[in-house]
Structure 1
Amino acid sequence: MADGALWQCFPRGKKGGAAVGDRVHVAPQGRDEGVIEQILPRSNLLYRSDDMRTKQFAANVDRLFIVVAVVPTFADDLVGRALAGAWSVGITPLIVLNKIDLRQGLDEARARLAPLARLGVPVLEVSALDTQATRRTLFAHMKGHVSLLLGQSGMGKSTLLNDLIPGANAATREHSTALDMGRHTTTSTRLYHLPDGGDLIDSPGFQAFGLQHLSREEIERGFPEFAAYAAQCRFYNCTHQHEPGCGVLQALADKHIDAARHALYTRILQENAAAQRY
């Protein structure tokens, strides 16, 4: 609440739909409970989706911090999907490269992120073991914003959260060296107020990032490097997959567009088309 008090609030009747980050009107019910009467207009709404369902989980976000690490190996596909999801709804993405104290593998991680850095995505290097340096690096980009912290399991996201919000007491767990992967420790999405202004939303670690809820136009917005070349396409409804006179495909052939990025774009389009058939 505005005075800092915590209320447990429920939707009225069977109406739901509120997500973490929503601004709502609440009617008091008893001493420390309330009923959600209205969800105020959102600037955006993010979803977690897979083959089974799509579920909203965060609203009114303006910065997405995608946490990756030197170890375990992060998935380029998931990072690309998170970027596409952010750009499709006008959210500024940033990448946090964690565990830079692990020198072995650092150069490889930097090289894999280089194509995204060339797109203008800031890559912030931190070590969660150095709390003060981590705070300085990340707070400078979070102050005054509603930020979402997102990452695969095992990337050290919960340790970073504990650095940023000392009272969060987020559970942490070592990753499996044998499997080169982590395990989920965060099980729910929660919003924290930052000490110098702004809010931070923490969400569960993910091993899949579906975008089935996006239209073709929204997916294309998730690849902003296409925009200048798409204006040169012969057909106004070009999908940039096989059409003659496609400016994007020509830029791909000329190596002005990263081949892996275009391949991801094509995969997402095909997945969404298949999902709509079923």
Structure 2
Amino acid sequence: MDKAPVLHGRVIAAHGRHYTVELSDGSLRKCFPRGKKAVAVVGDRVCISPQGELEGAIDQVLERSSLLYRSDDIRSKQFAANVDQLLIVVAPEPLFSDDLLWRALVAAHSADIKPIVVLNKTDLHASLPRAREQLSLLANTGTEIIEVCATNPEQVHARLGPLLQERCSLLLGQSGMGKSTLLNVLVPQAQAHTQEHSQALGTGKHTTTSTRLYHLPGGGDLIDSPGFQAFGLYHLSATDIEHGFPEFSAGVEHCRFYNCTHRHEPGCGVLAALERGDIAPQRHDLYKRILAENEAQGRY
């Protein structure tokens, strides 16, 4: 009996242990992993064995260029691979969380993924200055900030289109930031559902329930991920966390001790930069919180 051929494809959707794999000819197969662990994530390039006409088993996940995690007190979970850049959507209303935004930035920098902050809803003129002031604390991090109004498709394509071509980008944001509206502009065939955020609660309802990859009309790929209300970083080492704060890098070179934690050591270049005002105190406070959280979990 002839052995079934090995097929190569890319995971474009994941829900639990069920995956949609797009093959090189553009056809789709519903796939499952061999064994008990769901090892593949959206963006993975995989080898599968056909199972019937429309299904398959994932035999191997090929080498990744990058991998993003979400984690909480219980576990860390992989959710996207081979991502070139992270687009984090924020808006003047509802008020976005600095803590969540900055944690997502740490995750991107630690994985050597370029982060871009997309300030959406720029037509909300009354609350726009407050949002810009929040983002000004990222001035020394080298983070690119793009302002758009998702209800102005021409503007969105003009400002984001060139950044997305020939790249795999992950679209991420808290609920209510207009992420699904932005997705619909960039990928019309996505037909993502949009909902008005609740004025009473000051937050939005999740409109994305699973992670999915879309091909952009102008080239490149866009991965849409569910809105997040938490972004744990328990999977990161102390070195990874330091790497997640690019404004620390110049100061690190002047630390007296090679294993400096940048919290209390004498001769610390990072603390000296903080004292000079080169590092925002709020950013250094987050760095200390993340270290303390991971230490409390016994991560290192």
TM-score by length of 2: 0.90
Unaligned stretches of 5+ in structure 1?
none
Alignment of 1:131-210 (within 5 A): 131-210=153-232
1:51 aligns with 2:73: yes
Distance in 2 (CA, whole Å) between partners of 1:128 and 1:277 is 40
Displacement of 1:115: 2.5
Distance in 1 (CA, whole Å) between partners of 2:47 and 2:202 is 45
Distance in 1 (CA, whole Å) between partners of 2:35 and 2:173 is 34
Q: Secondary structure, in 3 states, of the residue corresponding to 1:46?
A: strand
Q: Secondary structure, in 3 states, of the residue corresponding to 1:201?
A: strand
- Runs (4 or more) in structure 1 with deviation over 3 Å come to none
* Matched AA of 2:167: H
Displacement of 1:15: 4.4
Cα deviations across residues 187-218 of structure 1 (Å, max 9, x unaligned)?
10000111121111000000111000100000
Aligned to 1:258: 280
Question: CA 1:277–1:56 in structure 2 vs 1: closer, same or farther (change >3 Å)?
Answer: closer
Structure 1 window deviating more from structure 2 (28-37 vs 18-27): it is 28-37
Question: CA 1:64–1:277 in structure 2 vs 1: closer, same or farther (change >3 Å)?
Answer: closer
* Matched AA of 1:130: N
Root-mean-square deviation over aligned CA pairs: 1.3
Q: Secondary structure, in 3 states, of the residue corresponding to 1:276?
A: coil
Displacement of 1:118: 4.0
Distance in 2 (CA, whole Å) between partners of 1:227 and 1:122 is 18
Say how many residue pairs are matched: 278
1:38 aligns with 2:60: yes
Unaligned stretches of 5+ in structure 2?
1-22
Contact 2:234 2:299 in 1 (8 A): no
Displacement of 1:178: 2.1
Distance in 2 (CA, whole Å) between partners of 1:95 and 1:256 is 21
Higher strand share: 2
1:99 aligns with 2:121: yes
Aligned to 1:244: 266
Contact 1:117 1:123 in 2 (8 A): no
Q: Secondary structure, in 3 states, of the residue corresponding to 1:102?
A: coil
Aligned to 2:108: 86
Alignment of 1:55-74 (within 5 A): 55-74=77-96
Structure 1 window deviating more from structure 2 (64-73 vs 116-125): it is 116-125
Aligned to 2:6: none
